[in-house]
Structure 1
Amino acid sequence: MANKVILLVDDDRDDQELFEEAMAIVDSSAVCHFASDGEEGLSMLEDNLLGCHIIFLDLNMPKMNGKQFLAEIKQHKVLSKIPIVIFTTSQREKDSVETANMGAAHFLTKPSSFGELCKQLAGILSIE
């Protein structure tokens, strides 16, 4: 099986680094790419440079936020098939329901501990 290619769209460098460290533990063969906002993520995907298997998406970002990105990607014939995991600090039920209705596969609230992050990522990768 080919290595999983993962795109994290998140404007927080610290969160990107933690995500990359956790992913190295959870699935060392996974290849992680990072975009700092929805526009950058969309252009990376549209240029088809990634062959992306799964997208982790923050909601609160400059330029194009997570919900705008989700709406855009769901309009693309090919890209709309990539599972999107909302990965946010938001704990609002409204955000979870709204993004699920928009086509997000999962909703994860960013955990406070590194161990919990690893556990969440392992859980998502086992079903996607």
Structure 2
Amino acid sequence: MRQKNTCLLIDDDKDDQEIFKLALQDINQDVVCFTADDGVEGLRLLQSDQNFFPSYIFLDLNMPRMTGKDCLCEIKKDARLAGIPVVIYSTSSDPKDISDSKRLGASDYVVKQFSISSLKTILEQYFNEEKQMA
């Protein structure tokens, strides 16, 4: 069962993690955001706790040790995790990355924003408080 008001951000950039968490807290303080520094760590977190089912997984594409696409494939192969929506969160706006990600099972694709207000606008569609109450 998915845990309301939780998300997992898998991203190797600590600054991007902080900006993401700040934007998220500004739009909905009830959301708990877990972070992992790469795909290997993210999968370990998801697989080590059988009760951990975040509402969303936000996944960077370009990371060391395991790319976001490889991590996405592993998530979708795991029957327990396959139903969790995975949103690619990347600096890449390459149409091939977008189409490949969707083909591999990503539910959405978000290009990283240069302003926190733009990021908040995007995150509101996932974590809007009124939407959570419905």
Q: Deviations over 1:13-42 (max 9, x none)?
A: 000000000000111100010000000000
Partner Cα separation in structure 1 for residue 7 and residue 101 of structure 2? 19
1:95 alignment partner AA: D
2:97 to 67, 72, 95: 95
Alignment of 1:60-79 (within 5 A): 60-79=62-81
Q: Deviations over 1:89-112 (max 9, x none)?
A: 001011111100111000000011
SS at match of 2:9: strand
Partner Cα separation in structure 1 for residue 106 and residue 117 of structure 2? 24
Query: What does residue 88 of structure 2 align with?
Result: 86
1:112 to 111, 114, 127: 114
SS at match of 1:4: strand
Query: What does residue 37 of structure 2 align with?
Result: 36
Structure 1 stretches of at least 4 aligned residues deviating more than 6 Å after TM superposition: none
Please provide the CA RMSD for this pair.
Answer: 1.6
Partner Cα separation in structure 2 for residue 124 and residue 31 of structure 1? 13
Partner Cα separation in structure 2 for residue 78 and residue 5 of structure 1? 17
Q: Deviations over 1:37-92 (max 9, x none)?
A: 00000000001263311100000000011000001111000101000000000010
Query: What does residue 59 of structure 1 align with?
Result: 61
SS at match of 1:62: coil
User: 5+ residue gaps in structure 2?
Assistant: none
Following TM superposition, by how much is the alpha carbon of 1:3 offset from its aligned partner in structure 2, in angstroms? 4.1
Query: What does residue 12 of structure 2 align with?
Result: 11
2:114 alignment partner AA: S
Give TM-score, length-normalised by structure 2: 0.89
Whether contact under 8 Å (2:76, 2:105) holds in the other structure is yes
The alignment covers a number of residue pairs equal to 127
